[in-house]
Amino acid sequence: MRDVAIIGIGMTKFGELWEKSFRELGIEAGLKAIADAKISGDLLDALYVGNMSAGKLIEQEHVASLIVDYSGYASRHLPAVRVEAASASGGVAFYEAYLAVASGLYDFVMVGGAEKMTDVGDAESNRELCATADNEWESIFGATYASLFAMMARRHMYEYGTTEEQMAQVAVKNHRFGSKNPLAHFRNTLTLDQVLNSSPVATPIKTLDCAPVSDGAAALVLCPWDHARKFTDTPVKIAGIGLATDTIALHSRRDMCTMDAVVRASSRAYHMAGVAPKQVNIAEIHDCYTIAEIIEIEDLRLVKKGEGGKATAEGVTDMGGRVVVNPSGGLKARGQPAGAVGIAQVVEIVEQLRGEAKERQVQGAEVGLTLNIGGTGATAFVSILKREN
């Protein structure tokens, strides 16, 4: 297997982008990635697209072909694949694109993620998120995406003493980071009182514990590591990857306070990269709800099990802490266009490792991690990225 580099990144603004269509967003991100890579689009060998909900929300299936067509590459008959894995669609698309280059099948691959989720009402977009749970045993009985994470939060509070204030600290931190990200859906800061006094959604989860539903797209260009320096002085190596699954229904899990798929995927990625959790300087993880970030930093072994809430409150995951988590603002502030999330996480880590993140730059960052989950943790994708001189 060949080493693989990321040589190009591109991303649109995330938010309620009513003035832009799904295809326009995907093409915008892709063109930015090609320009950043300083390559001709004619070099591309294949395209992978992560997308969760286009068929339901905008009534458009066959989205990989759509993006190739409207990018002007239809006459080249590029291989193009859409990947769906709930909110982990982007991460799993990245996994497949990495394998295609590492195996030697292709040399230059674009992988993107795109979603258009705000052209319908909140009820419909949230039904689509609920569909990422087990419909026959969870959603059909009234369990929502928020209520499932609320059950996880309640159990974590019972087992480890996690508090609503600690959960709220995640939102405060990530909005502060998001206020410095020009592409973020929300650029407002929050106070602890604002989060704690926001309207209840599914106790103990409140409105400001929840990531928004967003539109947006992100894209990457991958190539073999030994080709990378022909195009950029700052290639980023994909040092490790891990993909794992678990039961789709929360009630079938071994432990409601642990996402076993995250544990297993991260173990695979750490082993492949030859990296220990304590060596990770920066992480972009899937904070769809504030409790998710607390559980995930434990399952990634960035902090000890049961200490995620305490570590957050003590600033361990803040700027200047041992590992900076979600400097982009995360899903909570940057936004949550489901299929684009996993790619956007990689874009942020690449910017950080290149030293291009400006106001939110993590000084001295050399090893970055991304975690993209589908559903309540039924799918987990982890990547370890390195800056190598």
- Domains of the chain in start order, with CATH, are 4-120+213-228 (3.40.47.10)
Q: Are 370 and 266 in contact (CB under 8 A)?
A: no
- Tokens 């990269």 sit on residue: 273
Rounded distance between C-alpha atoms, residue 381 and residue 274, angstroms: 17
Q: C-alpha distances in angstroms, 202 versus 26, 144, 286?
A: 33, 9, 19
Fill in the amino acid letter for 183.
L
In this structure, what token pair is assigned to residue 123? Answer: 């009820």
What pLDDT shows up at residue 251? 94
pTM for the predicted model, two decimal places: 0.97
What pLDDT shows up at residue 133? 87
In this structure, what token pair is assigned to residue 44? Answer: 């591309």
Residue numbers in the chain where pLDDT is lower than 50: none
What pLDDT shows up at residue 130? 78
Q: Are 29 and 12 in contact (CB under 8 A)?
A: yes
